[in-house]
Amino acid sequence: MTRIKQIDAVELFIARLPLITPFETSFSVQTVKEALLLKIISNDAWGWGECVTSPDPYYCYETNKTASHIIQDFLVPILSNMKNFSVGDALEGFERIRGHWMAKAAVENALLDLLARQCRIPLFELIGGKKKKIMSGISIGIEENIDNLLKTIQIACDKKYHRIKIKIKKNKDIKILKKVRRSFPNIKLMVDANSDYTLEDLHILKKLDEFDLMMIEQPLNYDDIYFHSLLQHQIQTPICLDESIKTLNDARTAAELGSCKIINIKQGRVGGMLNAKKIQKYCRNSDIKAWSGGMLETGIGRAFNLHLQTLPGFVLPGDTSETSRYFAEDIVDKPVILQPDGFIKLPDGAGIGVDILPERFERYKIFSKRIL
Ligand code: OSB
Ligand code: MG
In tens, the pLDDT along 86-109 reads 999 999 999 999 999 999 999 999
Residue identifier of the C-alpha nearest atom 13 of ligand 1: 294
Q: Is 159 a catalytic residue?
A: no
Q: pLDDT tens, 254-285? A: 999 999 999 999 999 999 999 999 999 999 99
Per-residue pLDDT band for 322 (boundaries 50, 70, 90) equals very high
303-313 pLDDT, tens per residue? 999 999 999 99
Pick the CATH number of 9-120+356-370 from 3.10.20.30, 3.30.390.10, 3.40.1390.30, 3.40.50.2000: 3.30.390.10
* Domain span(s) for CATH 3.20.20.120 in the chain: 126-344
pLDDT above 90: residue 193: yes
The predicted pLDDT at position 61 comes to 98
Phi, psi angle pair for 314, to nearest 5°: -85, 80
Nearest-10 Cα torsion for 339, 168, 243, 140: 20
Residue from 17, 21, 25 whose mutation best tests the ligand 1 pocket (most atoms within 8 A of CB):
25
pLDDT over threshold 80, residue 1: no
Residue ranges of the chain that CATH labels 3.30.390.10: 9-120+356-370
CA angle 243, 247, 248 (to 5 degrees): 125
Q: What pLDDT, on a 0 to 100 scale, did the predictor assign at position 35?
A: 98
- Could you say which of 33, 167, 172, 277 is catalytic? 167
pLDDT in tens, 112-135: 999 999 999 999 999 999 999 999
Does position 210 have pLDDT exceeding 80, yes or no? yes
Average pLDDT over residues 202-225: 98
pLDDT recorded at residue 198? 98
Distance CA 282, CA 288 (A): 8
CATH homologous superfamily for 126-344?
Enolase-like C-terminal domain (3.20.20.120)
Mean pLDDT of 55-59: 98
Pocket mutation for ligand 1, best pick of 215, 319, 320, 326 (most atoms within 8 Å of C-beta):
319
Q: Can you give the pLDDT at residue 2?
A: 86
Nearest Cα to Cα of residue 58 among 98, 34, 106, 26: 26
* Percent of the chain whose pLDDT exceeds 90: 99
Question: What are the helix (H) ranges across 46-200?
Answer: 64-70, 76-80, 87-94, 101-119, 123-126, 146-158, 174-183
155-187 pLDDT, tens digit per residue, is 999 999 999 999 999 999 999 999 999 999 999
> Strand 365-370 relative to strand 9-24: parallel, antiparallel, unpaired?
antiparallel
What is the C-alpha separation between 256 and 147, in angstroms, rounded?
42
